[in-house]
Amino acid sequence: MALESCIKENNKNRKLNHQLCRHQCRPLPILVLVLVLTFSSWFAFFSPRSYDHNSFTNTSLMSKNNKFIPPIPNTQTHHHYNSSSSSSSQSGPYHDWQLFAADFEEMMRNFKIYVYPHVYSNNNNTSSEEAFAGIFLPHPNPLNPKIGNYLSEHMFKLSLLRSSLITTIPQQAHSYFLPFSINAMRNDRRIRSEAAIAEFVAQYTRRISSQFPFWNASAGADHFYVCCHSVGRDAASKHADLHKNAVQVTCSSSYFQKLYVSHKDVSLPQVWPRPLHVPLNPPHARDRLVYFSGRIQNSNVRQELIALWGNDTSMDVFDKSPYPYEEGFRRSKYCLHVKGYEVNTARVSDAIHYGCIPVILSNYYDLPFANVLDWTKFSVIINTGEIPFLKKRLLSITRQMYLTMYRNLCQVRRHFVWHKTPRGYDSFYMTAYQLWLRTSVNRLSY
Ligand SMILES: *[C@@H]1O[C@H](CO)[C@@H](O)[C@H](O)[C@H]1NC(C)=O
Ligand SMILES: *[C@@H]1O[C@H](CO)[C@@H](O)[C@H](O)[C@H]1NC(C)=O
Ligand SMILES: *[C@@H]1O[C@H](CO)[C@@H](O)[C@H](O)[C@H]1NC(C)=O
Ligand SMILES: *[C@@H]1O[C@H](CO)[C@@H](O)[C@H](O)[C@H]1NC(C)=O
Ligand SMILES: *[C@@H]1O[C@H](CO)[C@@H](O)[C@H](O)[C@H]1NC(C)=O
Ligand SMILES: *[C@@H]1O[C@H](CO)[C@@H](O)[C@H](O)[C@H]1NC(C)=O
C-alpha cells in the first residue's frame, strides 16, 4: 500500500514522503559511516553562512523563491538522536535531509549567479562577438533527440537563465557562469576539434578577465562552466587558472580524468532526451532480474560483463538488445550502469527514471549529488573487479531490502529531471546547490 502511494506521489511530482521508509534501511555500515563523516565535515567546512546577504535581499524574489521550497517532511523522526545510527536509518535516501533542506532553503533565498553577457541574443557589441554568438546563446531546442549526451549541458544553461538565481548585477553575484557550449563549438566548422575548443575557451577566459574585474578578483575560483560530453573534458587544458580554480560542472566526473578535481568540480547527472512522464512499473510487475544493453567496444568492463553473463538466461545482458531499451528498464528489477568509454552514462538516470534499481559498475566515478544522496540506499555499487559475483550479489538482496530501495528510488527521481523552467529539487537546483556549497571563496575587492 505504501508502495502504491509512493508511485502516485512521484507521478504527481509531489513532496517527499518520508513515512515510506519505516523499515530499517540496511546500509553498508562502513561506507555509510565514512560518507556521513566526510559529508558532515564537508557541510561544516563549506557552509557559506559567513556571507552578508542582507545587502542584496530582493523581497519579490524571496517570496517567489519560497514557492519552490516544499515543507520539510516528517521532522519528528529526526528528534530521536538516542543512537548514532537512528538518524541515518530514518532519513530515507538522504544523508541528512534536515541539514540539506535548511541549507537548500538558504540557497534559494540568497544565491546569485551572474551570466556573462555573451549569452544574450540582443548583445550588440563587436562583430567578432556576433560571429560566435551561437557558441553562447541558449540552444533553441535542447530536447531534440539528436542532442544526446549534450542534453544536460544545454538544459543547465536554459534552466539557469529562467531561474530565480540569476542576477544581472555582477557585483551581487556569488558565482559567475562562462556560458560557452561545448556542443556548439563541436558543431562549428571554425572550431570543431578538441584542441581548437580548448584554444577558444582559453581565449574567451582571457577576454573575460581583461574586460571584467571579477575573474582576477578570485583567479577564477568563483567561476564555472558546464560540459556533459567526453569532447569537453580537455576544454580547460589551455588556461591554467580555468582548470585549477574554476569549477567544472561535468558528467565525466572520474578521478582518472586529467582535468577533473574532486570536491572542487561538480558531478552533473547525464540525462538523455526522453518522455517526461512515464507511469512507473511497480515491483511485482518486474519479472526480469537484470537488464543491460550497450555498445561494448572501447570498454573492457562491458566486454567482461557480456563474456561472463551474456548467456545466462536469468540476466538480460546484451550488446544489442532484442527488445526496446525502455522495455528493459520497465520490466527489470536491476539495471546495470556499466562504464563505457567514460565512467558516466545516461543509464543511471534512465534507471532512476524508469524505477529500476541502478547497479553501478563504474569505479572512481563521483556520483551526482553524493554529498546529499546516500546512493547505497537506492542503488547497488559493485567494484568492476567483482563482475563474476554480480549475480550472487543481486540474488542475496532480500525482497524487503529491494522494496526499501525501490521506495527510496521513488524519492530521488525528481533530482534527475530537467525542466526548461527549473523547479523544486530538480537537476538544475540540485546542481546549483553544489555550486552554492563552493561559494566560500576569498576574493580581492574590485
Ligand atoms: C527584484 O528582482 C526583480 C527581478 O530581477 C526586479 O524586477 C525587481 O525590481 C527587484 N526588486 C527590488 C526591490 O529590487
Ligand atoms: C529512542 O529512539 C526510538 C526511535 O528511534 C524511540 O522509539 C525511543 O523512545 C527513543 N528512546 C529514548 C530514550 O529517547
Ligand atoms: C545595435 O546597436 C545599435 C546602436 O548601437 C542599435 O541601433 C541597434 O538597434 C542594435 N541592434 C540590436 C539587434 O540590438
Ligand atoms: C562592448 O562590450 C565591452 C565590454 O563588454 C564594453 O566595454 C563596450 O562599451 C561595448 N561596446 C559597445 C559599442 O556597446
Ligand atoms: C586581469 O589580469 C590579467 C593578467 O594579469 C590582465 O591582463 C588583465 O588586464 C586584468 N584584468 C583587469 C580587468 O584588470
Ligand atoms: C555463450 O554462447 C556462445 C554461443 O552459443 C558461445 O560461443 C560462448 O562460448 C558462450 N559463452 C560462455 C561464457 O559460456
3-state SS class at 191: coil
294 and 155 in one domain?
A: no
Residue 351 lies in a domain: yes
Gap between the Cα atoms of 33 and 1, Å rounded: 32
The answer to whether position 20 is within a domain reads no
User: In this structure, are 88 and 138 located in the same domain?
Assistant: no
Q: What dihedral do alpha carbons 377, 380, 383, 384 form, nearest 10°?
A: -150
Does residue 251 sit in the same domain as residue 338?
A: no
How would DSSP label each residue in 44-102? HHH-GGGS--GGG--HHHHHHHHTT-PPPP-GGGGG-TTSTTHHHHHSTTBS-HHHHHH
pLDDT, tens digit, 9 for 90 and up, residues 214-242: 999 999 999 999 999 999 999 999 999 99
Indicate if 121 and 269 belong to the same structural domain. yes
Q: How many distinct structural domains can be found in the chain?
A: 3
Better-predicted residue by pLDDT, 157 or 442:
157
What are the C-alpha distances in Å from 217 to residues 159, 176, 194, 435?
27, 12, 29, 18
> To which residue does cell 544489442 refer?
320
Domain assignment of residue 142, yes or no:
yes
d(CA 294, CA 338): 9
What is the per-residue pLDDT for 71?
A: 34
pLDDT at 16: 34
105-156 tens-digit pLDDT = 999 999 999 999 887 655 555 556 677 888 999 999 999 989 999 999 999 9
Task: Give the nearest ligand 5 atom to 211 CA.
Answer: 13
Q: How far is the CA of 210 from the centre of ligand 5 (A)?
A: 5
**Residue 441 belongs to some domain of the structure:** no
Judge if 291 and 370 occupy the same domain.
yes
Q: Is the CB of 311 under 6 A from ligand 6?
A: yes
Instruction: Tell me if 11 is assigned to some domain.
Output: no
Q: What is the pLDDT of residue 129?
A: 63
How many Å lie between the centroid of ligand 1 and the Cα of residue 55?
Answer: 14
Nearest residue (CA) to ligand 3, atom 9:
124
Amino acid identity of residue 442, one-letter, is: N
| Full domain range(s) for residue 46 | 31-110
Q: How far is the CA of 58 from the centre of ligand 1 (A)?
A: 6
Q: Is the Cα dihedral 216, 222, 226, 227 positive or negative?
A: positive
Q: Which of 26-40, 137-151, 208-222, 424-438 is least confident?
A: 26-40
Shared-domain flag, residues 231 and 304? no
How far is it, in rounded angstroms, from Cα 120 to Cα 4? 45
Cβ pair 356, 335 in contact under 8 A:
yes
pLDDT of residue 89: 46
Q: Which helix (H) or strand (E) holds 361?
A: strand 357-361
Supply the pLDDT for residue 440. Answer: 84
Residue 80 has what pLDDT?
39
Spell out a b/e string for 385-401, using b for 16 or more CB atoms within 10 Å of the CB, else e: eebeebbeebeebeeee
Residues 264 and 379 in one domain: no
**In this structure, are 318 and 218 located in the same domain?**
no
Rounded to the nearest angstrom, the gap between the alpha carbon of residue 53 and the centroid of all alpha carbons in its chain is 27
